[in-house]
Structure 1
Amino acid sequence: MLISRTLLRSTLPIALALTPFAVQAQSTEELTEMVEVEAASGAYMGSVLVARGDEVLLDQAWGSANLEWDIANTSDTRFRIGSVTKQFTAVSILLLQERGLINIEDPISKYIEDAPESWAKITVRDLLQHTSGIPNLTSLDSFGTQKFLPTSQDELIATFSGLPLEFEPNSEWRYSNSNFVLLSRMVETASKMSYQDFVKTNLFDPLGMKSTGIDRSAEILPKRAAGYSPSDDGIINAEYVNMAIPTGAGALYSSTGDLLKWQRGLFGGKVLSEASMTQLTTPSEFEAVAGAKYALGLLVTDTPEGRSIWHGGGIEGFNAFLGYDPDTKVTVVVLANLNGGSASKLGMGLLEATREK
């Protein structure tokens, strides 16, 4: 989830204005050098993990988890992951579908109480693949102030539920965090659990993801990185954002190791059925960003070199990239606690570099 409109414009959600790295860098030393170059430029600090199947090729951290105390990032530092959260929400919806509690082809009015009449043609699938037409709440003028304030889920939904649709449902693609706020509500309504409890019980605990959860600003969370942003005067502390707002659109924190567990579990058949995995990774017909198409909480890029299934994320002070190549079984995780495009630049570069030609 990209909270700031300025941040949205600069890193949407993975706006791939990227310079590709040289490919076929197979050794740990070569992969490390790719990250070293970006870190040495001052544009990146964070943690990176690259694995091919069960083999970890790179697991290293750069820069500071806390600049004021000069505490280094490590491989088990916890970072906010922004919109990488969306795939966990999409998987939750598909789990609930497997249990007969949700059907993604249903209109959302079946699951959202008091849905406005303008939402009548919007399906759950439209929310999952950003084809609903519902305006993006983080792009609204009011959000610049709202993000600082205590805001309930009902209040958040009310900020966009009365607005006209931006286009006819399923007629085009446009990224909207509002979609995943509504999906978070559906998870809670269908499961009769909080979103936090549902993902912990059904996703994190079964996969042993002990360093992943909903970020709460007030919580004392060991190994949590502080978030930073670039400025004309150098690196500064990132703006505050009320972490009760993003919910299933961007509220999770995680570590590189936990996200590798997630990839191995998800693509290893431990989370969803084969039919649900097909739904999760089948993109809509609309181009989303930089040649990629949007599936359900995931982006899919098909090129002659292979398929990449991925997502990026950004929130004040943090950027993230999580990618997977189903042919080579390569996972790339790049987590950053300094805003900018480096997480996605490195993520896509490392994913391409580890492909076996």
Structure 2
Amino acid sequence: MKNIFLAFSFFCASNFLFSQHFSEKVDSLIQTKFTEDQGPGGVFLISQKGKPVYEKAFGLANLELNVPLNPDNVFEIGSMTKQFTSVSILMLEQQGKLKVTDFISNYIPDYPNGSNITIHHLLTHTSGIKDFTKIKGLSEISQKEMTPQMMVDFFKNEPVDFKPGEKFEYNNSGYIVLGYIIEKVSRETYEDFIRKNIFEKIGMIHSYYATDRKVIKDRAYGYHKKSDGFVNKSVISFSVPYASGSLMSNLDDMLKWQIALNQNLLLNQKESTKAFTKYKLNNGEEIEYGYGWHLKNINGIPTREHGGSIFGFKSMGVYIPSKDIYVLGFSNCDCNSPTQVVKDIAELSLKNLQ
């Protein structure tokens, strides 16, 4: 009995030392990029098999009030919103209300060339539609309250960049159109659809369609860095990035999201597989993108990745399906991207977590 107790004690001590050593390695990776204790910073999560093994915050959530960040803070997640838009489309397909092979003219009859552009093209960034973030008049609407139709009208008559399916080129406009289609098919606003069918269904109680007006508990404030120091982020209307980048969330909620995807709580296996398939261009060339996720690898081990960037904030998530490891990082200064740090942590986690 004594030997069993000693063995158990040794096992616990070894686990504690390993965990402490691993955390120190992760801290070191993060602190190479997030170096300012008295400036904005970031929050980071590592989970394995749905359980957090590392969760930590660095820097300040609010510079004026000198409030430190904590892992519960809510951040704008930028283009990680596209995951929620793509899953919403697949949920509607699962319900028999649309097909990803449908042409967008089925839903927006006056869309130029809409009889040649499919929902699939929009999801995979292969539509050729002009990205609205590259249009000169963007600054004129950036603070206006835009309806989805107004946003679509803003770019729909721009010359296309290429024929549908001819190449992959990351494109925010396609996800604006997808948001508009979600509204037309569901007869709900995009905000309400996401809230009712995703956030409330899986318990994402700290996730929202972004707003600067409402009081958001645990909100992290966003910043830019200028030559003379930090300034508050530029104000935009979230009706402009809309379904391409207007959601807010925190680490724990995004872990709930990942678990829901793994357990098919929102999509059946058939629809879920569509999100994580590498698709091909017209010429047969394979692209490293599914529906709302980049499909890449770390040393040959497949990953599902996506980042986000919006005024004052940057985000990045890497999921490793074979190990059920999820690494996530949010920054509340667009001067500090967590992208490479999160990738480095994911690589470290592969080597250290069993």
Determine if the TM-score, normalized by the shorter chain, exceeds 0.5. Answer: yes
Q: Does the 8 Å CA contact 1:292/1:299 hold for their aligned counterparts? A: no
- Matched with 1:126 is 121
Map Cα deviations across residues 315-345 of structure 1 (whole Å, 9 max, x no partner): 0000001220001100011011011353111
Equivalence for 1:346: 341
Aligned-partner residue type, residue 116 of structure 2 = K
Give the 3 Å change call, closer, same or farther, for CA 150–197 of structure 1 in structure 2: closer
Q: How far apart, CA to CA, are the structure 1 residues paired with 2:189 and 2:344?
A: 37
Q: 1:334 to 1:143 in 2, by over 3 A?
A: same
The residue type paired with residue 141 of structure 1 is K
Matches within 5 A, 1:154-165: 154-165=149-160
Summarize deviations over 1:201-240 as a string: whole Å, max 9, x none. 1111121100001012211111111111122222221211
TM superposition shift of 1:29: 2.2
Give 1:59 shift. 0.6
Give the counterpart letter for 2:198 in structure 1. L
Contact 1:26-1:353 within 8 A present in 2 as well: no
Aligned partner of residue 215 in structure 2, secondary structure: coil
Distance 1:268 1:350 in 2: 24
> Are residues 1:95 and 2:91 paired?
yes
**Which one is further off, 91-100 or 234-243?**
234-243
Are residue 204 (structure 1) and residue 195 (structure 2) matched? Answer: no
**TM-score, with structure 2 as normaliser:** 0.88
Unmatched 5+ stretches in structure 2: 1-19
Q: State the 1:354 CA deviation.
A: 0.6
**Cα distance in 2, alignment partners of residues 60 and 297 from structure 1:** 27
**Which whole-Å deviations, capped at 9, do the CAs of 1:39-65 have from their partners, x for residues lacking one?**
226897121111111332211111111
Corresponding residue of 1:191 = 186
Residue number in structure 1 paired with 2:295: 300
Counterpart mapping for 1:35-50 below 5 A = 35-40=30-35, 45-50=41-46
**How far apart are the structure 2 equivalents of 1:341 and 1:172?**
30
Q: Distance in 2 between matches of 1:41 and 1:68?
A: 15
- C-alpha displacement of 1:105: 0.6
CA distance in 2, matches of 1:238, 1:152: 23
Report SS of the residue matched to 2:102.
Answer: coil
**Contact 2:238/2:246 (<8 A) preserved:** yes
Cα distance in 1, alignment partners of residues 119 and 164 from structure 2 = 11
Change (3 A) 1:52 1:316: same
The answer as to whether partners of 1:44 and 1:343 remain within 8 angstroms in 2 is no
Contact 2:40–2:62 (8 Å) recurs in 1: no
* C-alpha distance in structure 2 between counterparts of 1:179 and 1:88, whole Å: 14
1:51 counterpart = 2:47: yes
Task: Say whether the 8 Å CA contact 2:222–2:333 is kept in structure 1.
Answer: yes
Task: Please state how far the C-alpha of 1:155 moved relative to its aligned partner.
Answer: 1.7
- Cα RMSD (Å) of the superposition? 1.9
User: Whose radius of gyration is greater, 1 or 2?
Assistant: 2
1:303 Cα shift?
4.9
| Alpha-carbon shift at residue 292 of structure 1 (Å) | 7.3
2:169 aligns to what? 174
SS in structure 1 at match of 2:111 = coil
* 8 Å contact from structure 1 (residues 44, 342) kept in 2: no
CA distance in 2, matches of 1:154, 1:269: 32
Aligned to 1:332: 327
Q: Deviations over 1:45-99 (max 9, x none)?
A: 1211111113322111111111011111111100000000001000000000000
CA 1:162 to 1:177, structure 2 compared with 1: closer, same or farther past 3 Å?
same
- Once residues 260 and 58 of structure 2 are traced to their aligned partners in structure 1, the CA distance between those partners, rounded to angstroms, is 27
TM-score normalised according to structure 1 size: 0.88
Match of residue 61, structure 1, among 57, 60, 71:
57
Q: CA deviation at 1:243?
A: 1.2
Please give the per-residue CA displacement for 1:284-309, whole angstroms capped at 9, x wherever unaligned. Answer: 236xxxx9711101100035430110
